[in-house]
Amino acid sequence: MPTISIDQAKPEYDVVIVGSGAGGGQMAYTLTLAGLKCAMLEAGRSYDPQSETPMFNRADQTPLGGAPTPDKDMGFWDATVDGGWSVPGEPYTQGSTDKHEQFTWWRARMMGGRTNHWGRISLRNGPYDFKPYSYDGLGWDWPITYEEVAPYYDKVEMLIGVHGANQGMENTPDSPPGILQPPPKARIGDLLTQKAGKKVGVPVVSIHRAVLTKPLDADTIPAKLHPGNKWAQDIVAKSMRSRAACFWATPCYRGCSIRATYQSTTVHLPPALETGNLDIIANAHVREVTVGKNGKANGVLFIDKSTGREERVKGKAVVLAASSGETVRILLNSKSNQFPDGIANRSGLVGKYITDTVAMSVKGQIPALENLPPHNEDGAGGSHVYSPWWGYEAQRRGQLDFARGYHIEIGATRSMPGGYSPVPMGYLRGQYGTKLKQEARRYYGSFITLAGRGEMIPNEQCYAEIDPVVKDKWGVPVVRWHWKWSENELNMALHGQKTFAAMIEEMGGTVTQPLAKSGYDLIRPGGNVKHEVGGARMGVDPRDSVCNKWSQTWDVKNLFLCDATSFVSNADKNPTLTIMALAWRCADHIIEESAKGNL
């Protein structure tokens, strides 16, 4: 991915964008195709998935068979090549020594951010998700409705390519006809789970994922995305024609050199660069947003990691899209006489009410899946089906001890083994020679994992602040995390465990792990799903929110937050699609306000 050095930067840009992932990539795409000059700052190195992605390498061709290592948490072939739970020279701290109150913070630190290795699950937030307080009296309502965001969901799905099917389920929005690509077929384990789900009252339907199952219609889609802008249409059509459909053979988390899956580096950044309106500066560790005497943002100050020098880039507007935790760090470190507690923080809410996805899972062994004949069921590198939340009516009747819901992700395939045995050693212990091979073939592919991904209710004990002592290697104060799950999330986790165990037993299977008695023993730590959202929520009143409905900060009208920082709540739907939809919506607002001279 082509980048420039700071000495090649323009004296001033229309917009400075911090972050190159879903929000930053979408912002760069929309703004540059409208003719605005943009600079993008990425804290990590450049990355070109077309030349660097190890799509066709077998596990036996990697060190340790591709198994995780301390510096490669997600395995040797994980596309987020420079990211991790810890980043050398860039620590973060915890506000508590209690293991249940720890937050695990993943940072990507590379071009494209988390979009390079994400699961591609692309679910729309529903009407209840934008008005949760009105629905059940908990948390807060967003200042926008599903109907306002729906046209942007449409555009994002057409641009990135999302496969799936419309199911007409409660609070699980369908897409308009003709937008979704055909879904891949359910695999054997999926079909068995679907059959069991019917018996226990859990729906199992086609999932929506950002993977092309057929080439994009480059002849008609660009005109729908950019009506009246032939120049933009031609650029987007060229980019779409360079993307191939998935051939269902390699894991999506490795990245995609044929551009069949959505990554910012394969979908958003190539057309943005093609416009000639985007300059990308890599290894730019942003310290703060700078402010002029008029109280408006005028650029950012960053550390050039390649030289260690402090540098600046100026812009008429600034967009922060660095991920919620990182954007909060930048906001709180941006102190001045006008903003002694951090830029855009007159409400005192920057860093407050951060949430993550509730995650729990149960594994089982299914005799019906033993000794299956050899067959290829790799499919489009991830889930083909899932279970959207089905318990709304039970909650309305007061039958559940938690609010909101969770969806179920199903793992039941004979995927290519990595640097480990695909059969738990308890099933093979004591075997050797021919008997070992027979038992391995018998059990390979007979295991299933049911994983829940649920909504967390915002609480005041989950927040990020600046550590008063600790600084990173460049002298920038770091984030200190505070975290606590409520009874709502702990009860949800236990409900998920009970549901998953019932489904496995209905398949004739056996749960292969001890069942937890406490939600704390089951729920994954905060941040562990990498879905942290919030920290600068949007609202209708500057006194109790940081942004307005456009993700525009109340205190600084030319400063916009276009990752998940402005989220009011964190639905059970994975946040990436909503990040892009809101970023596109915000970009249209910037374009309109810029034309009026209001920024």
For residue range 93-124, list pLDDT tens digits in order. Answer: 999 999 999 999 999 999 999 999 889 999 99
What does the pLDDT read at residue 65? 75
Q: What percent of the chain has pLDDT over 70?
A: 99
Question: In the predicted model, is pLDDT for residue 71 greater than 80?
Answer: no
State CA 95 to chain mean position distance: 25
Measured over all CA atoms, what is the biggest interatomic distance in the chain, rounded to whole angstroms?
79
- Find the helix or strand (DSSP H, E) in which 302 lies: strand 297-304
Say how far apart CA 148 and CA 153 lie, in whole Å.
10
DSSP helix/strand/coil, 262: coil
Task: Give the pLDDT of residue 296.
Answer: 97
Strands (E), 401-446: 406-411
Helix residue ranges per DSSP H, 404-486: 433-443
Task: Say how far apart CA 158 and CA 216 lie, in whole Å.
Answer: 8
User: Residue 318 has which token pair?
Assistant: 């600034």
In 3D space, the residue among 50, 112, 110, 107 whose CA is nearest the CA of residue 263 turns out to be: 112
pLDDT at 413: 80
pLDDT at 318 over 90: yes
Kindly state the average pLDDT of the residues 505-525.
96
pLDDT, residue 83, reads: 82
Mean pLDDT calculated for residue range 250-265: 91
Query: Is residue 14 within 8 Å of 36, Cβ to Cβ?
Result: yes
| Cα atoms in the 13 Å half-sphere on the side-chain side of 151 | 8
Specify the residue for token string 């309502």: 141
Q: Tokens for 19?
A: 């972050």
Task: Spell out the domain ranges in the chain.
Answer: 1-49+72-94+103-164+208-356+464-485+532-599, 180-206+358-454+501-522
Asked whether the predicted pLDDT for residue 253 surpasses 90, the reply is no
pLDDT at 84: 87
Which CATH class name applies to 1-49+72-94+103-164+208-356+464-485+532-599?
Answer: alpha beta
User: In angstroms, rounded to a whole number, what is the distance separating the alpha carbons of residues 111 and 102?
Assistant: 28
CA atoms within 13 A of residue 492's CA, in its CB half-sphere = 29
Instruction: Tell me the pLDDT tens digit for each residue of 324-372.
Output: 999 999 999 999 999 999 999 999 999 999 999 999 999 999 999 999 8
Q: How confident is the model at residue 598 (pLDDT cuts 50, 70, 90)?
A: confident
Q: Could you give the residue ranges of the DSSP H alpha helices within 120-253? A: 127-130, 132-136, 146-160, 188-200, 221-225, 230-241
Sequence-distant (6+) residues with CB within 8 A of 82 are 44, 45, 108, 109, 110
Confidence band of 323 (pLDDT split at 50, 70, 90) = very high
**CB-side neighbour CA atoms (13 Å) of 118:** 26
Whole-number pLDDT of residue 320: 98
Alpha carbon distance 293, 10 (integer Å):
22
Q: What is the pLDDT of residue 518?
A: 94
HSE toward the beta carbon, residue 344, CA cutoff 13 A: 36
- Beta strands 278-281 and 205-206 are unpaired
460-486 mean pLDDT: 97
User: By mean pLDDT, which of 142-151, 309-318, 414-423 is the weakest?
Assistant: 414-423
pTM confidence score: 0.97
DSSP classification of residue 77: T
Distance, C-alpha 593 to centroid of its chain: 28
Inform me whether the pLDDT recorded for 75 exceeds 80.
no
Q: How far apart are CA 195 and CA 220, in angstroms?
A: 39
DSSP 268: I
Rounded Cα distance, 277 and 273, in Å:
7
Interacting residues of 583 by C-beta distance below 8 A, sequence separation 6+ = 22, 23, 24, 26, 27, 30, 321, 551, 562
Please provide the average confidence, as pLDDT, over all residues in the chain.
95
Res 586 pLDDT > 90: yes
Angle at 299 between CA 537 and CA 93, to 5 degrees: 55
Q: pLDDT at position 421, please?
A: 80
Give the model's confidence band at 285: pLDDT under 50 very low, under 70 low, under 90 confident, else very high: very high
Residue in this structure with the two tokens 């036996």, named with its chain if needed: 60
